Amino acid sequence: MLQAPGLVAILAYDGLCTFEFGIAVEIFGLPRPEFDFPWYQHRIVAVEPGPMRAMGGFQVLADGGLEQLASARTIIVPGWRSRSERPPEALLEALREAHARGARIVSICSGVFVLAAAGLLDGLRATTHWRYAGELAERFPTIVVDPDVLYVDAGQLISSAGSAAGIDACLHLIARDFGTQVANTVARRLVTPPQRTGGQAQFIPAPFSQTPRNDLSKVMHWARERLHEPLSVDQLAGRAAMSARTFLRRFSEATGMSPKSWLQHERLARARELLENSELGHESIAELCGYRSVESFRVAFRGNVGLPPSVYRERFGRG
């Protein structure tokens, strides 16, 4: 039986970023009758007293004030009203106390400036919207700012890039708590693609073309059916009827990832599915996912997922 994931506290403030706030409420606040295990509880937490006007002209009523953070397992910072304004000291202190007792804190877009002001990201890697990354690095030089990714998981602290990347970060947290199958079920209800890997680039200059000449989706589908094979760039380029150099450029433009990184992501996603839904041994899973040895599989899995395969299966296996 999966453990209850606890309370998610979603911050609200005057000047609230509506889209980022909506992401958090949609993902953590809706009932989930499709699941037969406890889902997240959630509360809207007011950063300060008084009317809280959101972008778009409406007002938000909260369930309580910052005292609610004392019982939260997860806190969502859905953007922030002004990057140049220091957040209220009461908020910063409440976040420090929550972090000290082990709460997870997720920032969406400009919300990372709140975590930075609280000093929680000092010495850690983080991200934000690509437009704000330079400012974050300049104002908080102790933070290792990565401007090229969708989100960064630093354990207790997860920072995400521009607004829509908050969906990916929240789905990532669900995958941490419940496994990828549950996260993908939530994504389907959102009518959004399954959670994208955090290392994917924020800005993809060229979307997939719908013309057969440039469409890479068939090549990617072909590769997904052959993850057990040692696929090379030359093989993929050949399937696309391109030179290796042209294929590399177009693949990167279309996905924001190199073919090698994409294959690693797909292999690990397949490994997660097998660990969750089958009784296959690690050796068989490693072979089916294209790893030369069970040890290389375990190293790659732990390095990317944060758990050894055995612990992941124990936590998320459906058997």
Digitized pLDDT (tens) for each residue of the chain, 319 residues in all: 567 899 999 999 999 999 999 999 999 999 999 999 999 999 999 999 878 999 888 899 999 999 999 999 999 999 999 998 899 999 999 999 999 999 999 999 999 999 999 999 999 999 999 899 999 999 999 999 998 888 999 999 999 998 889 999 999 999 999 988 899 899 989 888 776 655 555 544 444 444 434 568 889 999 999 999 999 999 999 999 999 999 998 888 777 778 998 899 899 989 998 998 899 999 999 999 999 999 999 999 988 887 899 988 988 887 5
H or E stretch including 105? Answer: strand 104-108
Q: How far is CA 59 from CA 15, 54, 80, 298, in A?
A: 10, 6, 16, 49
The counts of H helices and E strands in the chain are 13, 10
- Look at residues 55, 53, 41, 54 and name the one whose alpha carbon lies nearest to residue 7: 41
- Supply the DSSP string of 27-49, one letter for each residue: HHHS--TT-SS---EEEEEESSS
Q: Please provide the distance, in angstroms rounded to a whole number, between the alpha carbons at the two ends of the chain.
A: 11
Q: Does domain 208-319 have CATH number 1.10.10.10?
A: no
Tokens 């401007």 found at: 147
CATH of 7-190, one of 2.40.340.10, 3.40.50.300, 3.40.50.880, 3.30.56.10: 3.40.50.880
* Amino acid letter, residue 234: D
Count of residues in the chain: 319
How far, in Å, CA of 157 to CA of 74, rounded? Answer: 10
Residue ranges of the domains in the chain?
A: 7-190, 208-319
Q: Provide the residue type at 156 as one letter.
A: Q
Q: What residues are paired with 78 via a beta bridge?
A: 108
